[in-house]
């Protein structure tokens, strides 16, 4: 009879979200691997977390408008290069500096600022104003802030998969908020599965997606949609006028790694519905989306 291995799990919090680590493998060092993963999450959160006072991101935000550059090491520079590429590929709609605009809206997503106040806040928006050079990075205007947590979560998940693979792990799952990545299948040969909740009715899964040696990311939360003039909008805000974007409410993508899935889902969600669908179809990746009429569409949508 084959020995299928022992399943070890760990729950923790990282980047303000619940994280689930599963090692379902033969190695005797499964506990060590869970510890290694937790330490990597904590390292990345301490270094890049927007809510961590001593992080690189907090230092950049605190120095905005002072003219001071915050130095970047090779890892940080590669991450800023990635975010800049995402900004370009999205026609500048993906903009980490739009986080200041959320203060203009209440918890229900309704505008609570005046038109004049919103215009004032828009002056603090613009990734194009970020200066990146050999000295480091700086923001040009006091009051500007950036938040890279939505990129750091999939980066962290992929980083742990690389660490585990280098240490011989063959069967594992890493979940953080709405990102997940797996190594192989489960030790008994069964599939790793992730669920996407149904937009109507009870809190049941509309789809259970196989995730064997692949990454998954979902962007947009249809459950927190905003109703305006009889139409549904997501919470993504335009860096141009500060208004909710009329795009797909939620987009889920499966790819070789979590960061690629995140990139595809992020850009698709920021486009208009039809543009987002064409973008996803052109990528050739498996995807599922919830449109503004709460319909499930895409190759992974249940038939």
For the chain, domain boundaries: 1-49+148-190, 56-147, 191-303
Task: Summarize pLDDT for 237-272 with one digit per residue, the tens.
Answer: 999 999 999 999 999 999 999 999 999 999 999 999
Q: Which pLDDT score, from 0 to 100, does residue 198 have? A: 58
Does this chain's domain 1-49+148-190 share its CATH topology with 56-147? Answer: no
pLDDT in the model for residue 141:
97
CATH architecture of 1-49+148-190: Roll (3.10)
* Helix, strand, or coil (residue 172): strand
Mean pLDDT for 61-76 is: 98
Residue 226 pLDDT more than 70? yes
**Quick one: pLDDT band at residue 283, thresholds 50, 70, 90?**
very high
Question: Over 70: is that where the pLDDT of 86 sits?
Answer: yes
List, for residues 94-152, the tens digit of each pLDDT value. 999 999 998 899 988 888 999 999 999 999 999 999 999 999 999 999 999 999 999 99
Contact 293, 254 (CB under 8 A): no
Percent of the chain with pLDDT over 90: 78
Angle, alpha carbons 200-212-39 (nearest 5°): 95
> Which one of 3.30.300.130, 3.40.710.10, 3.40.50.1820, 1.10.3980.10 gives the CATH number of domain 56-147?
1.10.3980.10
Give the pLDDT of residue 295: 92
pLDDT of residue 208: 81
Q: Which residues contact 245 (CB under 8 A, 6 or more apart)?
A: 93, 233, 234, 236, 237, 238, 269, 270, 272
Mean pLDDT of 212-238: 90
Instruction: Please tell me the pTM assigned to this model.
Output: 0.92
| pLDDT value, residue 196 | 78
Q: What CA–CA distance (Å, rounded) separates 242 from 115?
A: 10
Percent of the chain with pLDDT over 70: 94
Q: Fold for domain 191-303? A: T-fold (3.10.520)
């Amino acid at each position: 009879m084959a020995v299928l291995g022992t399943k070890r799990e760990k729950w923790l919090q990282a980047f303000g979200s619940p994280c689930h680590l599963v090692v379902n493998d033969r190695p005797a060092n499964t506990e060590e691997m869970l510890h290694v993963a937790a330490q990597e999450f904590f390292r990345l959160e301490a270094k890049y977390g927007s809510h961590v006072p001593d992080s690189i991101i907090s230092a950049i935000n605190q120095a905005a408008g002072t003219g001071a550059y915050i130095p970047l090491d090779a890892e940080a520079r590669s991450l800023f290069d990635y975010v800049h590429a995402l900004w370009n590929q999205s026609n500048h709609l993906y903009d980490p500096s739009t986080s200041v605009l959320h203060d203009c809206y209440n918890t229900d997503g309704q505008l609570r600022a005046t038109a004049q106040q919103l215009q004032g806040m828009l002056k603090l928006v613009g990734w194009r104003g970020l200066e990146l050079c050999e000295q480091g990075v700086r923001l040009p205007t006091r009051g500007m802030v950036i938040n890279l947590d939505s990129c750091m979560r999939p980066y962290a998940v992929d980083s742990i998969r690389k660490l585990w693979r280098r240490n011989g792990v063959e069967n594992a799952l890493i979940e953080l908020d709405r990102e997940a990545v797996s190594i192989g299948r489960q030790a008994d040969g069964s599939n790793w599965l992730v669920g996407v909740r149904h937009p109507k009715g009870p809190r049941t899964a509309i789809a259970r997606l196989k995730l064997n040696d692949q990454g998954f990311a979902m962007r947009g939360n249809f459950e927190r949609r905003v109703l305006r003039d009889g139409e549904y909008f997501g919470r993504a805000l335009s860096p141009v006028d500060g208004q909710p974007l009329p795009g797909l409410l939620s987009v889920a993508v499966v790819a070789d790694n979590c960061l690629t899935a995140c990139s595809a889902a992020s850009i698709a969600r920021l486009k208009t519905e039809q543009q987002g669908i064409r973008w996803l179809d052109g990528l050739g990746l498996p995807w599922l989306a919830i449109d503004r009429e709460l319909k499930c569409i895409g190759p992974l949508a249940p038939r």
